[in-house]
Structure 1
Amino acid sequence: MDRMAKDDLGLARVRVRAAWLFLAPTLAVLAAVAGWPLLRTVWFSFTDAELIELENYRFIGFANYLEYYEGEWLGLLADPQWWRAVWRTVWFAAVSVSIEAVLGMVVALALNARFPLRGLVRAAILIPWAIPTIVSARMWAWMLNDQFGVINHALLAIGAIDAPVAWMADPDLAMWAVVIVDVWKTTPFVALLILAALQMLPADCYEAARVDGIHPIRVFFRVTLPLIRPALVVALVFRALDALRVFDLIYVLTANASGTQSMSVYARQQLVDFQDVGYGSAASTLLFLVIALLTLSVVLLGRLRLEGESAR
């Protein structure tokens, strides 16, 4: 018995060693492509570097983050505009991902059913996701234009509105417009992952439920949803991380309007428009920390849940 345990331990070590050997090239590329720029950004966040003279800077510690100077708190953490950008980004991520989860589930269930031309419909549903974000954002910007946009024209035609709506002039309407465009573009991604999980479900569970006369809605919540939960969680995590760092969609639709700034747009404004590399790097570093902490939390919670289920 001890010999078998030793053999299993040796095999496990060989597998771990082989895994690290296969991962080494990828890790090296990531370190060169992503690691060095990230470390450079973190370093600049502790300096007063400016874009026009990037090599001439001095170390100022945490002054870009928070500093008490002449009876006043200064820095990123004391900037109301930054906290508004944080709240706006979190709101956008929560609302858009929630809507995409519901619509993605509905679309996946519909595409999982058998009907004529199902393959063609599955291919067509991926078109919004395949369109580059810049292209889709510019297309929707024309459609939402208050003068000649097709959205206002359609709403006027059916009597839903009395006058053209300036969607991008009101920050609240602009954020809802951004949510609509994001949902239109990325719901197919969520639906695709859920559909892949649905395709792998065992058919005998549904046969047994049908024989027992269980209502389809109850089958969905008791059988389907628990079985596809891992795929659904992966889809929502990927979408949440993508939504938290949203930049191009908001920037193209609303330019640099202060009422619709996300964390990424705010960081870009400090880096490029104000040429304050130190302050913009601090904003980028905090954005990275938010996303990293969210990812780590999801991974740890998933691991704890899996360990709890295996212990049962």
Structure 2
Amino acid sequence: MSAKLARREHRTAWLFLTPLVVVMLMVAVWPLGRTFFFSFTDAYLDDPTVYGMVGISNFLEVINDPAWWSAVRNTLTFAVISVAIETLLGLGIALLLNEAIPGRGLLRAAILVPWAIPVVVATKIWEWMLNDQFGVFNRILISLGLIDHGIAWTASSSLIMGVVIFIDVWMTTPFMVLLILAGLQTIPGEMMEAAEVDGIPAWKRFWSITLPLLKPAIGVAVLFRSLDAIRMFDLAYVLAASNQNVMTVSIYARDRLISFQELGVGSAASTWVFLLVALVAIILIGALRLDRSAGE
């Protein structure tokens, strides 16, 4: 009777999972499979039904293109710096919001506002604020005597990457705050109170108790943000279009696919992007598992 019940539960589970599997096949596996197929062809976007098989030549063309490696360098630079800053800021703000301070509920709601604004809208707002002619940012700096004329923040090749990182940090730090704050809520208050009664300094309580217990939450937050940063497209594209100084791998793939109409090469570039994201995911997940094993 128990075996029959187990089989029935197994069938019921698959019955509920079937819609999810179908949707995943439609929105993920099928498009990914077609992209992978076209990456071996010389198809063009204007008529994708006419093509010939070219083997791995598209993949070789992409990795032999200096613009691709420039995009890889820009992407990794953006991802490493922005995620590091967001993690540190997210940890600090989460620790502050976890304390019993006046207006804590209002602050928790307000901190999510930048994250809730659509990326395109937020990017355009900052573009206007950073305008060298009428931007409020330049006017404030001029009024403080820090500069004597407006700076073209988004037009300068040496400043544009910093601007992109700054806007991304402003928008996505709340995401890190949210996940780290959730991790703080799981730490038993009795443990911290006992450590405080024993006279352990605040910095040592943080380093020896809070931070080790927060590692899983911080690890998950860094994983999600890193994968999101590696495939970043909208912020850099809206702010600077195809500017070589902030071109990411996703923008490179888009240009080959849409601007140049090269369905085959663009699909190969998209496949390289997928492999890059998968590699980063494997490395980070492996690091999380290694840290968990060491902790056990």
Instruction: Tell me the TM-score normalized by structure 2.
Output: 0.93
1:172 is paired with a residue whose SS is coil
Matches within 5 A, 1:279-294: 279-294=265-280
Inter-CA distance 237–219: structure 2 relative to 1 (3 Å threshold): same
1:51 counterpart = 2:45: yes
Q: Which residue among 19, 25, 50 is the counterpart of 1:25?
A: 19
Q: How does 1:1-312 map to 2 (within 5 A)?
A: 22-66=16-60, 75-310=61-296
Q: 1:112 offset after TM fit, Å?
A: 0.6
Contact 2:184/2:214, CA 8 A, preserved across alignment:
yes
TM-aligned CA distance change 1:24 to 1:302, over 3 Å:
farther
**Equivalents in 1 of 2:201, 2:157: separation in Å?**
45
Q: Distance in 2 between matches of 1:143 and 1:244?
A: 26
Unaligned 5+ runs, structure 2: none
Give the whole-Å Cα distance in 1 for the aligned partners of 2:285 and 2:15.
23
Shift of 1:252: 0.7
CA distance in 2, matches of 1:99, 1:288: 25
* TM-score between the two structures when normalised by the length of structure 1: 0.89
CA deviation map 1:181-237 (0-9, x unaligned):
000000001001111111121011111211111111111111001111111111111
Distance 1:18 1:292, change over 3 A: farther
Alpha-carbon distance change, 305 to 27 in structure 1, aligned in 2, over 3 angstroms: farther
Q: CA RMSD in A?
A: 2.2
Compared with structure 1, are the counterparts of its residues 15 and 100 closer, same or farther at alpha carbon in structure 2 (3 Å cutoff)?
farther
Given residue 32 of structure 1, which amino acid in structure 2 is its aligned partner?
M
Percent identity of paired positions between Structure 1 and Structure 2: 50
Cα distance in 1 for partners of 2:263, 2:256 equals 7
Structure 1 distance, partners of 2:7, 2:184, is: 35
Q: Deviation per CA, 1:63-103, whole angstroms, max 9, x where unpaired?
A: 1111xxxxxxxx11111110000010000000000000000
Q: Distance in 2 between the 1:17 and 1:102 partners?
A: 46
Contact map agreement 2:62 2:269 (CA 8 A) in 1: yes
Q: Deviations over 1:214-268 (max 9, x none)?
A: 1111111110011111111111110000000110000111122122210011111
Amino acid at match of 1:100: E
**Structure 1: which 5+ residue stretches go unaligned?**
1-6, 67-74
Q: Which residue identity lines up with residue 201 of structure 1 in the other structure?
A: I
Aligned pair count reads 295
